[in-house]
Amino acid sequence: MPVFVTRVPLTDRELAHPRSTANLFDLPVRCQYGMYRLAGPGFGAWRELAANQTVTEGVLTGETESFPLLHH
């Protein structure tokens, strides 16, 4: 079974705000996924985790099959 693995290191600022999906780095909105033609830096590791948890729940409940499952 193919498995995709990604490593998203946490910064000290992210570690100081566990599970926060806030824009901790004051990045412009255009850095949000889908807002820029090329991939932007995103708003942090916790937001990445939250997004993957949301789509995993959708796959597990049968709402979509378009995303891989998150295992962490």
pTM: 0.69
**Structural domain boundaries enclosing 48:** 25-72
Tell me, yes or no, whether 13 lies in a domain.
Answer: no
Cα 20 from Cα 15, distance rounded (Å): 9
Q: What percent of the chain clears pLDDT 90, i.e. is strictly above it? A: 24
CA angle 60, 63, 66 (to 5 degrees): 85
Domain count, the chain: 1
Cα 52 from Cα 68, distance rounded (Å): 9
pLDDT tops 80 at residue 11? yes
Q: Do 42 and 50 form a contact (C-beta atoms < 8 A)?
A: no
Predicted local distance difference test score (pLDDT) of residue 16: 96
Tell me, yes or no, whether 10 lies in a domain.
Answer: no
Tell me, yes or no, whether 66 lies in a domain.
Answer: yes
